[in-house]
Amino acid sequence: MCGIIGRVDYRDISPNLIEGLRRLEYRGYDSAGIATLDGGKIRVVKRAGTVDRLAEAFRSSPVRGTLGIAHTRWATHGGVNDINAHPHVSCDGKVAVIHNGIIENFAELKSSLRREGHDFVSETDTEVVAHLSEDILREGDDLMQTGLKLAKMLKGQYALVIMNSDNPERLLGMRHNAPLMVGVGRNYSVYASDVLGFIDETKRAVFLEDDTVSVAERNHLEVRSLGGLPRDYKVVDLAEELGSPDKKNFEHFTLKEIHEQPGSILRIMKQDPGKVTLFRKQLEEAKRIFFVAAGSSYHASMLGKIYLSEHMGLYSDVILASEYRSYERWFDEGTVLVAVSQSGETMDVLEAVRAGKEKGCSILGVVNHAPSSLERMSDTVVNLRAGQEVGVAATKSFTSQVALFYSIANKDIDDLEVESISRAVSDSLAQEEAVKSIAREIASSKDIYFLGRGKNFPLALEGALKMKELAYLHAEGIAAGELKHGPLALIEKGTPLILINPDDETHDDTISNGMEVKARGGVLIGVAPDTHGGYDYFIRIPKVLPDHYPLVVAVPLQLLAYHTARLLRANIDKPRNLAKSVTVK
């Protein structure tokens, strides 16, 4: 969601700001804007739509300068239009603000600012920050004092970067429950909501702690707590593996990431056995275990729950992070929260973790995007090291999460088993041509159903989620046994049903459910190691151990959604309305 860049430099930075925004596009957005201090005045160019549209507007009306901010907006308060795009400017034109998050008390602040004579031009919550800053700066406060005063006034969550024309060599940054970091360059500093905002230019970064106010200059950074106490910080070297993402020869990042899975699964299953043992021990000692996650990470956690039950005899529950409040009464000192998040920045997950920490829970974090807020908040953390996932749809991070949970639950896995899983996933990828032809059969359907039992049920949910977000088709994942309890009424002649049907203990029951669908005119697409007379179409997966099926099944389901989306000319890497990192509630 909203991407932030702020830069203080010694040369004209407008091209870098626009490039930085391009690298943050993957987070999801609907408008973009830039402001620089140009000839002593703040000048803004902003547009609803893409960064390309912004770049076009910039070409006809360029702004230049050595100090500037830039933003990609994912609308929360106020429609998607040029005026609501950030940056927002104060009445006196001396302050410009960009923001990720929500200012919850904006309505009260706006009324009192209006009473004092401020004119508002946008419908956003963010604009109040520009007007408040104008008032504080007029009283003669410096940028740091302005930030500390703002922190006392603002409720909600924010990463903010603020520029002021009377401070031509400084930017103010503030963070409270939203990510913000600083890229440290040679004679320049860059605020960004994500390392991708600057990683092509500098590999040195400061991950600002939460609840901090900071002022960045070209060669200096001052950080304070929201209460004003000086805070130390570390400049870290970003690991090589975070490097600039490259599509290689693939048409889309999503396809490249699907094809990376034999390697990413190998990496997570062979990683630091000490960490996996520690994780396992903490689970064994827990009084209560909750997985907390959203979206695909939630589906992976459902498999984690099954693996923990089958291999360790442990009962756990899986909570949708956004629903944690219904279970919060069970959070206490003996409780372990397994917080699972590709981005490590999902607001709902972080909120649940914060609530858990307050009640004394231990936090076991599983992240891919490191460093991240979740990583810093966890007591023990496993980094999936699947590499940057640029496509908004989770693919390799999902299988890495599943592979990790299997490794944690089953302590007898050896290298031979790991390598055989990775080979089987490659074999699944080899079915791409068959999957493509099935995509042609289903692309014109209005509804698609995915059916599975046991470990195949979370896969049915995940397959349907991929179809929705990539191809924009209505899809539902159904537990095979639930079919007769309602969903069967939806089946009509020609309705496609993806039957996830490996040769595990669920096989015979699932085939019967498939036949019930076929008898009502449904078109059966079997995903299985062996074909069956009932299938109208068939995607072959390799024959593997029952525990390995989720990993080999995930691949054709991802490919099916991908190729259907491609036929429908959907925006595959950046599906409409979605964001990679969901940093608002």
Looking at the Cβ atoms of 167 and 341, the one nearer to ligand AGP is 341
CB of 397 to ligand AGP, least distance (A): 7
Binding mask 214-253 for ligand AGP (x = CB under 6 A): ----------------------------------------
CA 308 to chain centre: 25
Pick from 55, 320, 394, 524 the residue near ligand AGP by CB under 6 A.
394
Question: Does residue 422 interact with ligand AGP by CB under 6 A?
Answer: no
Which of these segments, 124-132, 150-158, 217-225, 386-394, binds ligand AGP (CB under 6 A)?
386-394
Question: Does residue 565 interact with ligand AGP by CB under 6 A?
Answer: no
Question: Does residue 560 interact with ligand AGP by CB under 6 A?
Answer: no
Q: Could you tell me which of 345, 357, 362, 369 has the C-alpha nearest to residue 294?
A: 345
Question: Does residue 347 interact with ligand AGP by CB under 6 A?
Answer: no
Question: Does residue 257 interact with ligand AGP by CB under 6 A?
Answer: no
φ and ψ at residue 234, rounded to 5 degrees: -120, 140
Which residues have a catalytic role annotated?
2, 580
Pick from 392, 402, 425, 544 the residue near ligand AGP by CB under 6 A.
392
Question: Does residue 306 interact with ligand AGP by CB under 6 A?
Answer: no
CB of 344 to ligand AGP, least distance (A): 7
Q: What angle do CA 273, 275, 278 make, to 5 degrees?
A: 110
**Which residues, 6 or more positions from 279, have their beta carbon under 8 angstroms from its beta carbon?**
364, 380, 382, 408
Pick from 343, 400, 431, 501 the residue near ligand AGP by CB under 6 A.
343
Q: How far apart are CA 540 and CA 490, in angstroms?
A: 27
User: Of all residues in the chain, what percent are helix, strand and coil, respectively (each to 5)?
Assistant: 40, 25, 35
Which of these segments, 212-220, 239-247, 289-297, 498-506, binds ligand AGP (CB under 6 A)?
289-297
Q: How far apart are CA 89 and CA 482, in angstroms?
A: 55
CB of 305 to ligand AGP, least distance (A): 16
CA 260 to chain centre: 18
Site for ligand AGP in 447-466 (CB under 6 A): 465
Pick from 297, 316, 335, 422 the residue near ligand AGP by CB under 6 A.
297
Other beta carbons within 10 angstroms of residue 452's beta carbon come to 30
**Which residues, 6 or more positions from 43, have their beta carbon under 8 angstroms from its beta carbon?**
35, 36, 63, 65
Question: Does residue 33 interact with ligand AGP by CB under 6 A?
Answer: no
Question: Does residue 572 interact with ligand AGP by CB under 6 A?
Answer: no
Question: Does residue 373 interact with ligand AGP by CB under 6 A?
Answer: no
Pick from 154, 393, 553, 561 the residue near ligand AGP by CB under 6 A.
393
Which of these segments, 160-168, 264-272, 338-346, 438-446, binds ligand AGP (CB under 6 A)?
338-346
Question: Does residue 378 interact with ligand AGP by CB under 6 A?
Answer: no
CB of 3 to ligand AGP, least distance (A): 15
Question: Does residue 36 interact with ligand AGP by CB under 6 A?
Answer: no
Question: Does residue 294 interact with ligand AGP by CB under 6 A?
Answer: yes
Looking at the Cβ atoms of 26 and 158, the one nearer to ligand AGP is 26
Question: Does residue 445 interact with ligand AGP by CB under 6 A?
Answer: no
Question: Does residue 557 interact with ligand AGP by CB under 6 A?
Answer: no
Residue tagged 């085939």 (tokens): 511
Question: Does residue 319 interact with ligand AGP by CB under 6 A?
Answer: no
Pick from 16, 212, 341, 456 the residue near ligand AGP by CB under 6 A.
341
CB of 321 to ligand AGP, least distance (A): 8
Question: Does residue 388 interact with ligand AGP by CB under 6 A?
Answer: no
Three-class DSSP labels, 195-253: HHHCCCCCCEEEECCCCEEEEEECCEEEEEECCCCECCCCCEECCHHHCCCCCCCCCCH
Q: Identity (one letter) of the amino acid at 271?
A: Q
Q: How far apart are CA 482 and CA 266, in angstroms?
A: 35
Which of these segments, 86-94, 166-174, 293-301, 537-545, binds ligand AGP (CB under 6 A)?
293-301
Question: Does residue 383 interact with ligand AGP by CB under 6 A?
Answer: no
Let me know if 420 is exposed, middle or buried by CB neighbors in 10 A (0-12, 13-18, 19+). Answer: middle
- Do residues 36 and 14 touch, judged by C-beta distance below 8 A? yes
Q: Identity (one letter) of the amino acid at 386?
A: A
**Which residues, 6 or more positions from 272, have their beta carbon under 8 angstroms from its beta carbon?**
none
Strand 204-207, strand 171-176: pairing: unpaired
Three-class DSSP labels, 131-193: HHHHHHHHCCCCHHHHHHHHHHHCCEEEEEEEEECCCCCCEEEEEECCCCEEEEECCEEEEEC
**Which residues, 6 or more positions from 119, have their beta carbon under 8 angstroms from its beta carbon?**
91
Question: Does residue 337 interact with ligand AGP by CB under 6 A?
Answer: no
Site for ligand AGP in 85-124 (CB under 6 A): none
Distances (CA, A) of 342 to 85, 297, 386: 28, 7, 9
- Do residues 173 and 5 touch, judged by C-beta distance below 8 A? no
Dig out the tokens for 581 from the structure: 């990192």
Dig out the tokens for 169 from the structure: 């060599």
State which residue has the least CB distance to ligand AGP: 295
Binding site for ligand AGP (CB under 6 A): 294-297, 341-343, 346, 349, 392-394, 465, 469, 581-582
